Structure 1
Amino acid sequence: MHVTYLPMSWKSGDNYCYLLTDEESNQSWLIDPAYPSDILDFLTKKNKTEVASIVNTHHHYDHAGGNGQLLSTLYKSVPVIAGKDCPYVSYTPSDEEVILLGKNVEITALHTPCHTQDSICYYAKDKKTGEKCVFTGDTLFTAGCGRFFEGTAEQMKSSLEKLLSLPEETVTYPGHEYTASDAKFAKTVFGSNNQALNELEEFAKKHEFTTGCFTLKDEKAFNPFVRLTDPFVVRATGKKDPVEAMGKLRAMKDIF
Protein backbone atom coordinates (compact mmCIF):
# COMPACT_ATOMS: atom_id res chain seq x y z
CA MET A 1 0.00 0.00 0.00
CA HIS A 2 1.28 3.42 -0.89
CA VAL A 3 -0.17 6.89 -0.27
CA THR A 4 0.78 9.97 -2.27
CA TYR A 5 -0.41 13.32 -0.98
CA LEU A 6 -1.14 16.06 -3.48
CA PRO A 7 -1.46 19.62 -2.12
CA MET A 8 -4.19 21.75 -3.70
CA SER A 9 -5.34 25.35 -3.25
CA TRP A 10 -2.19 25.86 -1.19
CA LYS A 11 -1.95 28.95 1.00
CA SER A 12 -5.68 29.37 0.46
CA GLY A 13 -7.67 26.30 1.48
CA ASP A 14 -4.58 24.14 2.11
CA ASN A 15 -6.37 21.05 0.78
CA TYR A 16 -5.02 17.56 0.33
CA CYS A 17 -5.90 15.13 -2.43
CA TYR A 18 -4.63 11.58 -2.01
CA LEU A 19 -3.71 8.73 -4.30
CA LEU A 20 -4.08 5.43 -2.44
CA THR A 21 -2.43 2.59 -4.33
CA ASP A 22 -2.40 -1.18 -4.08
CA GLU A 23 1.13 -1.76 -5.32
CA GLU A 24 0.66 -5.36 -6.44
CA SER A 25 -2.19 -4.59 -8.84
CA ASN A 26 -1.15 -0.97 -9.48
CA GLN A 27 -4.75 0.14 -8.95
CA SER A 28 -5.53 3.28 -7.00
CA TRP A 29 -8.21 5.48 -5.48
CA LEU A 30 -8.11 9.21 -6.14
CA ILE A 31 -9.48 10.78 -2.96
CA ASP A 32 -10.96 14.31 -2.84
CA PRO A 33 -9.50 15.65 -6.13
CA ALA A 34 -11.30 18.97 -5.72
CA TYR A 35 -9.03 21.20 -7.81
CA PRO A 36 -7.99 19.30 -10.96
CA SER A 37 -5.80 22.14 -12.25
CA ASP A 38 -3.53 21.77 -9.22
CA ILE A 39 -2.99 18.04 -9.70
CA LEU A 40 -3.29 17.69 -13.48
CA ASP A 41 0.46 17.69 -14.05
CA PHE A 42 0.89 14.83 -11.61
CA LEU A 43 -2.03 12.84 -12.97
CA THR A 44 -0.99 13.16 -16.62
CA LYS A 45 2.80 13.03 -16.34
CA LYS A 46 3.80 11.31 -13.11
CA ASN A 47 1.04 8.94 -12.09
CA LYS A 48 1.70 5.43 -13.36
CA THR A 49 -1.21 3.78 -11.60
CA GLU A 50 -4.67 2.86 -12.86
CA VAL A 51 -7.24 5.06 -11.14
CA ALA A 52 -10.04 2.64 -10.29
CA SER A 53 -12.30 5.10 -8.48
CA ILE A 54 -12.72 8.75 -7.61
CA VAL A 55 -13.59 8.94 -3.91
CA ASN A 56 -14.97 11.78 -1.79
CA THR A 57 -15.04 12.21 1.97
CA HIS A 58 -18.00 14.64 1.78
CA HIS A 59 -19.89 16.89 -0.61
CA HIS A 60 -18.25 20.28 -0.02
CA TYR A 61 -16.84 21.85 -3.16
CA ASP A 62 -13.27 21.86 -1.84
CA HIS A 63 -13.44 18.07 -1.69
CA ALA A 64 -15.87 16.95 -4.39
CA GLY A 65 -15.82 19.94 -6.73
CA GLY A 66 -13.45 18.35 -9.23
CA ASN A 67 -15.55 15.27 -9.97
CA GLY A 68 -17.29 16.64 -13.05
CA GLN A 69 -14.14 17.88 -14.78
CA LEU A 70 -12.23 14.68 -14.16
CA LEU A 71 -15.13 12.50 -15.34
CA SER A 72 -15.41 14.47 -18.56
CA THR A 73 -11.70 14.35 -19.33
CA LEU A 74 -9.27 11.90 -17.75
CA TYR A 75 -11.57 9.35 -16.14
CA LYS A 76 -14.70 9.01 -18.24
CA SER A 77 -15.59 5.48 -17.14
CA VAL A 78 -14.46 5.67 -13.51
CA PRO A 79 -17.05 5.35 -10.72
CA VAL A 80 -17.39 7.92 -7.94
CA ILE A 81 -17.53 6.39 -4.46
CA ALA A 82 -18.93 8.97 -2.05
CA GLY A 83 -21.75 10.05 0.22
CA LYS A 84 -25.22 10.55 -1.21
CA ASP A 85 -24.90 14.35 -1.54
CA CYS A 86 -21.66 14.37 -3.55
CA PRO A 87 -21.84 15.42 -7.21
CA TYR A 88 -21.74 12.60 -9.78
CA VAL A 89 -21.76 9.93 -7.07
CA SER A 90 -22.32 6.46 -8.52
CA TYR A 91 -21.99 4.39 -5.37
CA THR A 92 -22.46 5.15 -1.67
CA PRO A 93 -21.04 2.46 0.61
CA SER A 94 -22.94 1.54 3.74
CA ASP A 95 -21.41 2.14 7.16
CA GLU A 96 -18.58 -0.33 7.82
CA GLU A 97 -18.85 -1.79 4.31
CA VAL A 98 -15.52 -3.22 3.13
CA ILE A 99 -14.31 -2.57 -0.42
CA LEU A 100 -11.25 -4.24 -1.91
CA LEU A 101 -8.81 -2.09 -3.85
CA GLY A 102 -6.66 -4.23 -6.11
CA LYS A 103 -5.49 -7.45 -4.49
CA ASN A 104 -4.46 -6.43 -0.99
CA VAL A 105 -5.98 -3.18 0.25
CA GLU A 106 -9.19 -3.59 2.22
CA ILE A 107 -10.99 -0.29 2.73
CA THR A 108 -13.74 0.14 5.32
CA ALA A 109 -16.18 3.00 4.84
CA LEU A 110 -16.97 4.68 8.15
CA HIS A 111 -19.93 7.04 8.24
CA THR A 112 -18.95 10.02 10.41
CA PRO A 113 -21.79 12.55 10.27
CA CYS A 114 -21.39 16.04 11.73
CA HIS A 115 -19.26 18.30 9.54
CA THR A 116 -21.70 17.15 6.87
CA GLN A 117 -24.33 14.45 7.14
CA ASP A 118 -22.76 12.56 4.22
CA SER A 119 -19.22 12.52 5.66
CA ILE A 120 -17.42 9.21 5.19
CA CYS A 121 -13.93 8.34 6.39
CA TYR A 122 -12.03 5.50 4.73
CA TYR A 123 -9.92 3.08 6.78
CA ALA A 124 -7.43 1.18 4.63
CA LYS A 125 -5.49 -1.92 5.62
CA ASP A 126 -2.96 -3.77 3.50
CA LYS A 127 -3.57 -7.50 4.00
CA LYS A 128 -0.04 -8.27 2.85
CA THR A 129 2.03 -5.76 4.80
CA GLY A 130 -0.27 -4.94 7.71
CA GLU A 131 -0.03 -1.21 7.03
CA LYS A 132 -3.03 0.83 8.18
CA CYS A 133 -4.22 4.35 7.45
CA VAL A 134 -7.40 6.38 7.55
CA PHE A 135 -8.55 9.27 5.34
CA THR A 136 -10.51 11.54 7.63
CA GLY A 137 -11.68 14.37 5.38
CA ASP A 138 -12.93 17.24 7.53
CA THR A 139 -13.91 15.07 10.49
CA LEU A 140 -10.52 14.61 12.19
CA PHE A 141 -7.55 16.93 11.76
CA THR A 142 -4.17 16.65 13.42
CA ALA A 143 -4.92 18.02 16.91
CA GLY A 144 -8.35 19.21 15.76
CA CYS A 145 -11.69 18.43 14.18
CA GLY A 146 -14.04 19.90 11.61
CA ARG A 147 -16.75 22.50 12.11
CA PHE A 148 -20.23 21.27 12.91
CA PHE A 149 -21.83 22.60 9.73
CA GLU A 150 -24.60 20.00 9.51
CA GLY A 151 -24.40 18.19 12.82
CA THR A 152 -24.12 18.39 16.58
CA ALA A 153 -21.49 18.07 19.26
CA GLU A 154 -22.88 14.67 20.13
CA GLN A 155 -22.45 13.51 16.52
CA MET A 156 -18.85 14.75 16.38
CA LYS A 157 -18.06 13.03 19.66
CA SER A 158 -19.49 9.75 18.32
CA SER A 159 -17.73 10.11 14.97
CA LEU A 160 -14.35 10.76 16.57
CA GLU A 161 -14.85 7.86 18.95
CA LYS A 162 -15.54 5.62 15.96
CA LEU A 163 -12.24 6.69 14.38
CA LEU A 164 -10.33 6.38 17.64
CA SER A 165 -11.56 2.80 18.04
CA LEU A 166 -9.39 1.80 15.08
CA PRO A 167 -5.91 0.37 15.78
CA GLU A 168 -3.67 2.96 17.43
CA GLU A 169 -0.93 2.56 14.83
CA THR A 170 -3.29 3.74 12.05
CA VAL A 171 -1.72 6.67 10.17
CA THR A 172 -4.01 9.67 9.67
CA TYR A 173 -4.52 11.58 6.42
CA PRO A 174 -6.80 14.61 6.97
CA GLY A 175 -8.41 16.76 4.30
CA HIS A 176 -6.49 19.96 5.09
CA GLU A 177 -3.15 21.14 6.43
CA TYR A 178 -4.40 22.82 9.59
CA THR A 179 -1.83 21.40 12.02
CA ALA A 180 -0.09 24.63 12.98
CA SER A 181 -3.32 26.48 13.77
CA ASP A 182 -4.90 23.50 15.53
CA ALA A 183 -1.81 23.01 17.66
CA LYS A 184 -1.82 26.69 18.53
CA PHE A 185 -5.43 26.43 19.68
CA ALA A 186 -4.74 23.24 21.63
CA LYS A 187 -1.98 25.09 23.49
CA THR A 188 -4.63 27.51 24.82
CA VAL A 189 -6.28 24.46 26.40
CA PHE A 190 -3.27 22.51 27.66
CA GLY A 191 -0.70 25.27 28.01
CA SER A 192 2.77 23.72 28.03
CA ASN A 193 1.60 20.78 30.12
CA ASN A 194 1.18 18.31 27.24
CA GLN A 195 4.58 17.14 26.00
CA ALA A 196 3.15 15.46 22.90
CA LEU A 197 1.50 18.74 21.93
CA ASN A 198 4.70 20.69 22.56
CA GLU A 199 6.52 18.35 20.17
CA LEU A 200 3.73 18.64 17.59
CA GLU A 201 3.92 22.43 17.68
CA GLU A 202 7.66 22.33 17.02
CA PHE A 203 7.19 19.79 14.23
CA ALA A 204 4.58 22.00 12.53
CA LYS A 205 6.93 24.97 12.64
CA LYS A 206 9.57 23.00 10.73
CA HIS A 207 7.38 21.11 8.24
CA GLU A 208 5.01 22.61 5.68
CA PHE A 209 3.30 19.26 5.09
CA THR A 210 2.41 17.20 8.16
CA THR A 211 -0.13 14.77 6.73
CA GLY A 212 0.74 11.09 7.15
CA CYS A 213 3.20 11.87 9.94
CA PHE A 214 0.94 11.00 12.87
CA THR A 215 -1.21 8.15 14.13
CA LEU A 216 -4.40 7.71 16.11
CA LYS A 217 -2.21 7.04 19.14
CA ASP A 218 -0.76 10.52 18.68
CA GLU A 219 -4.24 12.02 18.43
CA LYS A 220 -5.19 10.46 21.74
CA ALA A 221 -2.19 12.20 23.28
CA PHE A 222 -2.52 15.76 21.96
CA ASN A 223 -5.96 16.37 20.44
CA PRO A 224 -8.28 18.18 22.88
CA PHE A 225 -11.37 17.09 20.92
CA VAL A 226 -10.71 13.46 21.84
CA ARG A 227 -9.61 14.23 25.41
CA LEU A 228 -12.93 15.64 26.61
CA THR A 229 -12.54 14.43 30.21
CA ASP A 230 -8.97 15.67 30.52
CA PRO A 231 -8.79 18.08 33.50
CA PHE A 232 -7.32 20.79 31.28
CA VAL A 233 -10.21 20.47 28.82
CA VAL A 234 -12.74 20.53 31.65
CA ARG A 235 -11.11 23.65 33.08
CA ALA A 236 -10.86 25.41 29.71
CA THR A 237 -14.48 24.72 28.78
CA GLY A 238 -16.06 24.78 32.21
CA LYS A 239 -17.93 21.62 31.18
CA LYS A 240 -17.68 18.22 32.86
CA ASP A 241 -20.16 16.60 30.48
CA PRO A 242 -18.17 15.38 27.45
CA VAL A 243 -20.80 16.40 24.87
CA GLU A 244 -21.06 19.89 26.37
CA ALA A 245 -17.27 20.09 26.45
CA MET A 246 -17.14 19.16 22.76
CA GLY A 247 -19.62 21.89 21.88
CA LYS A 248 -17.80 24.49 23.94
CA LEU A 249 -14.40 23.54 22.51
CA ARG A 250 -15.70 23.89 18.97
CA ALA A 251 -17.28 27.25 19.76
CA MET A 252 -13.96 28.41 21.20
CA LYS A 253 -12.07 27.22 18.13
CA ASP A 254 -14.57 28.86 15.77
CA ILE A 255 -13.65 32.30 17.10
CA PHE A 256 -9.96 31.56 17.75
Structure 2
Amino acid sequence: MHVVPLPALADNYIWLLHDACGQAIVIDPGEAHPVENALAERRLRLRAVLLTHHHADHIGGAGYLRDKYKVPVYAPDDDRITVATHHVKDGQVLTLREPSARFDIMAVPGHTSSHIVYAGEGVLLCGDTLFSLGCGRLFEGTAGQMLASLQRLASLPGATLVCCGHEYTAANGRFAQTVEPDNQALRQRLEEVATLRAQNRPSVPVTLSSELACNPFLRVDSECVMQWCGRHGAAHDPVARFAALRSAKDAFRA
Protein backbone atom coordinates (compact mmCIF):
# COMPACT_ATOMS: atom_id res chain seq x y z
CA MET A 1 0.00 0.00 0.00
CA HIS A 2 1.34 3.42 -0.97
CA VAL A 3 0.97 6.09 1.74
CA VAL A 4 0.81 9.73 0.59
CA PRO A 5 0.32 12.82 2.77
CA LEU A 6 -1.60 15.54 0.94
CA PRO A 7 -1.08 19.06 2.38
CA ALA A 8 -4.36 20.89 2.94
CA LEU A 9 -5.65 24.08 4.54
CA ALA A 10 -3.05 25.79 6.76
CA ASP A 11 -1.16 22.80 8.15
CA ASN A 12 -3.38 19.72 7.75
CA TYR A 13 -2.56 16.46 6.09
CA ILE A 14 -5.13 14.40 4.23
CA TRP A 15 -3.87 10.84 3.92
CA LEU A 16 -4.17 9.03 0.60
CA LEU A 17 -3.63 5.27 0.53
CA HIS A 18 -3.62 3.38 -2.75
CA ASP A 19 -2.58 0.05 -4.18
CA ALA A 20 -0.67 -0.80 -7.35
CA CYS A 21 -3.94 -1.22 -9.25
CA GLY A 22 -5.03 2.37 -8.70
CA GLN A 23 -7.64 1.78 -5.99
CA ALA A 24 -7.53 4.50 -3.32
CA ILE A 25 -8.97 5.64 -0.01
CA VAL A 26 -8.57 8.98 1.75
CA ILE A 27 -8.55 9.77 5.43
CA ASP A 28 -9.78 13.04 6.97
CA PRO A 29 -10.28 15.17 3.84
CA GLY A 30 -10.64 18.66 5.30
CA GLU A 31 -11.09 19.91 1.76
CA ALA A 32 -11.75 18.17 -1.53
CA HIS A 33 -9.49 19.74 -4.15
CA PRO A 34 -6.15 18.27 -2.94
CA VAL A 35 -7.79 14.85 -3.17
CA GLU A 36 -9.19 15.48 -6.63
CA ASN A 37 -5.81 16.74 -7.85
CA ALA A 38 -3.99 13.71 -6.46
CA LEU A 39 -6.49 11.26 -7.92
CA ALA A 40 -6.14 12.85 -11.35
CA GLU A 41 -2.35 13.11 -11.26
CA ARG A 42 -1.91 9.51 -10.13
CA ARG A 43 -4.80 8.10 -12.15
CA LEU A 44 -6.47 6.64 -9.08
CA ARG A 45 -10.06 5.61 -8.37
CA LEU A 46 -11.44 6.68 -5.02
CA ARG A 47 -13.20 3.84 -3.21
CA ALA A 48 -13.84 5.10 0.34
CA VAL A 49 -13.42 7.96 2.76
CA LEU A 50 -12.42 7.36 6.40
CA LEU A 51 -12.93 9.95 9.15
CA THR A 52 -11.38 10.03 12.62
CA HIS A 53 -13.37 12.81 14.31
CA HIS A 54 -15.84 15.60 13.74
CA HIS A 55 -13.69 18.72 13.40
CA ALA A 56 -14.31 20.68 10.22
CA ASP A 57 -10.67 20.65 9.11
CA HIS A 58 -10.91 16.85 8.95
CA ILE A 59 -14.34 16.36 7.37
CA GLY A 60 -14.92 19.52 5.29
CA GLY A 61 -14.44 17.83 1.91
CA ALA A 62 -15.99 14.46 2.74
CA GLY A 63 -19.53 15.23 1.61
CA TYR A 64 -18.39 16.51 -1.76
CA LEU A 65 -16.17 13.46 -2.32
CA ARG A 66 -18.94 11.11 -1.22
CA ASP A 67 -21.39 12.59 -3.69
CA LYS A 68 -19.04 13.05 -6.64
CA TYR A 69 -17.37 9.63 -6.47
CA LYS A 70 -20.32 7.68 -5.00
CA VAL A 71 -18.22 6.21 -2.20
CA PRO A 72 -18.95 5.23 1.41
CA VAL A 73 -17.83 7.44 4.27
CA TYR A 74 -16.81 5.60 7.44
CA ALA A 75 -16.81 7.56 10.70
CA PRO A 76 -17.36 7.28 14.44
CA ASP A 77 -20.95 7.34 15.60
CA ASP A 78 -21.28 11.05 16.30
CA ASP A 79 -24.27 13.18 15.36
CA ARG A 80 -21.88 16.00 14.43
CA ILE A 81 -20.61 13.96 11.46
CA THR A 82 -23.61 14.20 9.16
CA VAL A 83 -21.71 13.10 6.03
CA ALA A 84 -21.15 9.53 7.27
CA THR A 85 -22.74 6.61 5.47
CA HIS A 86 -21.34 3.95 7.82
CA HIS A 87 -20.53 4.13 11.53
CA VAL A 88 -17.65 2.16 13.03
CA LYS A 89 -16.72 1.68 16.67
CA ASP A 90 -14.06 0.37 18.99
CA GLY A 91 -13.19 -3.28 18.49
CA GLN A 92 -14.60 -3.55 15.01
CA VAL A 93 -12.55 -4.44 11.94
CA LEU A 94 -13.09 -2.46 8.76
CA THR A 95 -12.40 -4.65 5.75
CA LEU A 96 -12.28 -3.04 2.32
CA ARG A 97 -12.33 -4.93 -0.95
CA GLU A 98 -10.86 -2.19 -3.16
CA PRO A 99 -8.15 -1.50 -2.24
CA SER A 100 -7.78 -4.71 -0.27
CA ALA A 101 -7.21 -3.47 3.27
CA ARG A 102 -8.05 -4.29 6.86
CA PHE A 103 -8.11 -1.78 9.72
CA ASP A 104 -8.74 -2.27 13.42
CA ILE A 105 -10.94 0.46 14.86
CA MET A 106 -9.75 1.86 18.18
CA ALA A 107 -11.61 4.41 20.29
CA VAL A 108 -9.19 7.07 21.55
CA PRO A 109 -11.13 9.70 23.54
CA GLY A 110 -9.24 12.76 24.63
CA HIS A 111 -9.00 15.27 21.81
CA THR A 112 -12.70 14.68 21.22
CA SER A 113 -15.10 12.32 22.97
CA SER A 114 -15.75 10.16 19.90
CA HIS A 115 -12.31 10.17 18.24
CA ILE A 116 -11.25 6.89 16.63
CA VAL A 117 -8.16 5.71 14.80
CA TYR A 118 -7.65 3.16 12.04
CA ALA A 119 -4.72 0.76 12.52
CA GLY A 120 -3.67 -1.71 9.87
CA GLU A 121 -1.68 -2.27 6.70
CA GLY A 122 1.39 -1.05 8.58
CA VAL A 123 -0.06 2.40 9.27
CA LEU A 124 -1.77 4.23 12.11
CA LEU A 125 -4.25 6.81 10.85
CA CYS A 126 -4.52 8.76 14.05
CA GLY A 127 -6.10 12.13 13.26
CA ASP A 128 -5.42 14.57 16.09
CA THR A 129 -4.74 12.07 18.88
CA LEU A 130 -1.03 11.40 18.35
CA PHE A 131 1.26 13.85 16.56
CA SER A 132 4.92 13.45 15.85
CA LEU A 133 6.62 14.62 19.07
CA GLY A 134 3.27 15.64 20.54
CA CYS A 135 -0.40 14.86 21.03
CA GLY A 136 -3.74 16.57 20.56
CA ARG A 137 -5.23 19.16 22.87
CA LEU A 138 -7.87 18.01 25.34
CA PHE A 139 -10.97 19.66 23.91
CA GLU A 140 -13.54 17.14 25.16
CA GLY A 141 -11.71 14.47 27.15
CA THR A 142 -9.66 14.22 30.31
CA ALA A 143 -5.95 13.75 30.84
CA GLY A 144 -6.62 10.21 32.02
CA GLN A 145 -8.57 9.38 28.88
CA MET A 146 -5.92 10.78 26.59
CA LEU A 147 -3.09 9.02 28.38
CA ALA A 148 -4.97 5.72 28.14
CA SER A 149 -5.59 6.35 24.45
CA LEU A 150 -1.92 7.07 23.79
CA GLN A 151 -0.88 3.99 25.73
CA ARG A 152 -3.12 1.88 23.50
CA LEU A 153 -1.43 3.30 20.44
CA ALA A 154 2.02 2.79 21.98
CA SER A 155 1.34 -0.95 22.12
CA LEU A 156 1.21 -1.24 18.31
CA PRO A 157 4.25 -2.63 16.44
CA GLY A 158 7.20 -0.26 16.41
CA ALA A 159 7.42 -0.32 12.62
CA THR A 160 3.91 1.15 12.33
CA LEU A 161 3.89 4.41 10.39
CA VAL A 162 2.25 7.23 12.33
CA CYS A 163 0.05 9.23 9.94
CA CYS A 164 -1.21 12.22 11.88
CA GLY A 165 -3.42 15.13 10.92
CA HIS A 166 -1.09 18.14 11.09
CA GLU A 167 2.44 19.37 10.39
CA TYR A 168 3.26 20.25 13.99
CA THR A 169 6.52 18.33 14.39
CA ALA A 170 9.04 21.17 14.58
CA ALA A 171 6.97 23.15 17.08
CA ASN A 172 6.29 20.04 19.14
CA GLY A 173 9.98 19.26 19.10
CA ARG A 174 10.91 22.62 20.55
CA PHE A 175 8.75 21.85 23.56
CA ALA A 176 10.01 18.27 23.78
CA GLN A 177 13.57 19.56 24.03
CA THR A 178 12.68 21.57 27.12
CA VAL A 179 11.53 18.31 28.75
CA GLU A 180 14.39 16.08 27.58
CA PRO A 181 17.27 18.33 26.49
CA ASP A 182 19.75 15.45 26.54
CA ASN A 183 17.65 13.01 24.48
CA GLN A 184 19.92 12.10 21.58
CA ALA A 185 17.15 10.41 19.59
CA LEU A 186 15.09 13.60 19.86
CA ARG A 187 18.03 15.71 18.71
CA GLN A 188 18.52 13.48 15.67
CA ARG A 189 14.81 13.54 14.87
CA LEU A 190 14.75 17.34 14.94
CA GLU A 191 17.75 17.51 12.63
CA GLU A 192 15.88 15.21 10.24
CA VAL A 193 12.74 17.35 10.49
CA ALA A 194 14.68 20.55 9.81
CA THR A 195 16.14 19.02 6.64
CA LEU A 196 12.75 17.78 5.46
CA ARG A 197 10.97 21.07 6.09
CA ALA A 198 13.76 23.07 4.42
CA GLN A 199 12.99 20.98 1.33
CA ASN A 200 9.24 21.60 1.80
CA ARG A 201 8.73 17.90 2.48
CA PRO A 202 6.40 16.47 5.16
CA SER A 203 7.92 15.38 8.46
CA VAL A 204 5.48 12.46 8.60
CA PRO A 205 4.86 9.58 8.41
CA VAL A 206 7.28 8.48 11.08
CA THR A 207 7.68 5.13 12.79
CA LEU A 208 6.06 4.54 16.12
CA SER A 209 9.42 3.34 17.45
CA SER A 210 10.85 6.79 16.73
CA GLU A 211 8.00 8.40 18.62
CA LEU A 212 8.51 6.09 21.58
CA ALA A 213 12.11 7.28 21.73
CA CYS A 214 11.36 11.00 21.30
CA ASN A 215 7.79 11.98 22.14
CA PRO A 216 7.43 13.07 25.80
CA PHE A 217 3.71 12.29 25.81
CA LEU A 218 4.55 8.64 25.15
CA ARG A 219 7.35 8.73 27.72
CA VAL A 220 5.63 9.71 30.97
CA ASP A 221 7.31 6.76 32.71
CA SER A 222 10.84 7.52 31.48
CA GLU A 223 13.35 8.79 34.02
CA CYS A 224 14.01 12.12 32.32
CA VAL A 225 10.33 12.95 31.89
CA MET A 226 9.61 11.96 35.47
CA GLN A 227 12.37 14.30 36.63
CA TRP A 228 10.88 17.17 34.60
CA CYS A 229 7.45 16.44 36.01
CA GLY A 230 8.88 16.33 39.52
CA ARG A 231 10.15 19.85 39.08
CA HIS A 232 6.59 20.79 38.10
CA GLY A 233 4.96 19.14 41.12
CA ALA A 234 3.69 16.00 39.36
CA ALA A 235 6.27 13.29 39.99
CA HIS A 236 4.47 10.14 41.10
CA ASP A 237 1.19 9.68 39.24
CA PRO A 238 1.30 8.99 35.46
CA VAL A 239 -1.94 10.88 34.78
CA ALA A 240 -0.67 13.87 36.74
CA ARG A 241 2.59 13.74 34.79
CA PHE A 242 0.72 13.68 31.52
CA ALA A 243 -1.54 16.53 32.63
CA ALA A 244 1.51 18.60 33.61
CA LEU A 245 3.07 18.01 30.20
CA ARG A 246 -0.12 18.89 28.35
CA SER A 247 -0.68 22.03 30.41
CA ALA A 248 2.91 23.16 29.84
CA LYS A 249 2.63 22.51 26.11
CA ASP A 250 -0.60 24.51 25.93
CA ALA A 251 1.20 27.52 27.38
CA PHE A 252 4.49 26.99 25.53
CA ARG A 253 5.66 29.67 23.10
CA ALA A 254 8.95 29.40 21.20
* TM value normalised by structure 2: 0.90
1:189 aligns with 2:157: no
Partner residue, 1:51: 46
Q: Distance in 1 between matches of 2:107 and 2:20?
A: 27
Seen in structure 2, the aligned counterparts of structure 1 residues 27 and 135 have a Cα distance that, compared at 3 Å, is same
Partner residue, 1:145: 135
- Return 5+ residue gaps in structure 2 as ranges: none
1:19 alignment partner AA: L
1:216 aligns with 2:208: yes
1:255 aligns with 2:247: no
Q: Distance in 1 between matches of 2:204 and 2:163?
A: 5
What is the CA distance between 1:219 and its match in structure 2? 1.1
What is the CA distance between 1:250 and its match in structure 2? 0.5
Runs of 4+ in 1 over 3 A off after TM superposition: 37-40
Q: Distance in 1 between matches of 2:110 and 2:239?
A: 13
State the SS of the aligned residue for 1:166. coil
1:195 alignment partner AA: Q
Q: CA RMSD in A?
A: 1.5
Seen in structure 2, the aligned counterparts of structure 1 residues 103 and 70 have a Cα distance that, compared at 3 Å, is closer
Partner residue, 1:69: 64
Same amino acid, percent of matched pairs: 40
Q: Out of 14, 18, 38, which is 1:17 matched to?
A: 14
Q: Distance in 2 between matches of 1:173 and 1:207?
A: 16
Partner residue, 2:166: 176
2:172 alignment partner AA: D
Partner residue, 1:108: 104
State the SS of the aligned residue for 2:203. coil
Deviations 1:159-202 (A, max 9, x none): 111111111111111110111011110000001x1111001111
What is the CA distance between 1:67 and its match in structure 2? 1.7
Q: Distance in 1 between matches of 2:155 and 2:62?
A: 31
Seen in structure 2, the aligned counterparts of structure 1 residues 23 and 100 have a Cα distance that, compared at 3 Å, is farther
1:199 aligns with 2:188: yes
Q: Distance in 1 between matches of 2:63 and 2:105?
A: 23
Seen in structure 2, the aligned counterparts of structure 1 residues 161 and 28 have a Cα distance that, compared at 3 Å, is same
Query: Across the two proteins, how many residue pairs are aligned to each other?
Result: 241
Partner residue, 1:7: 7
Partner residue, 1:81: 74
Q: Distance in 2 between matches of 1:168 and 1:202?
A: 21
Q: Distance in 1 between matches of 2:18 and 2:92?
A: 19
Q: Distance in 2 between matches of 1:135 and 1:89?
A: 17
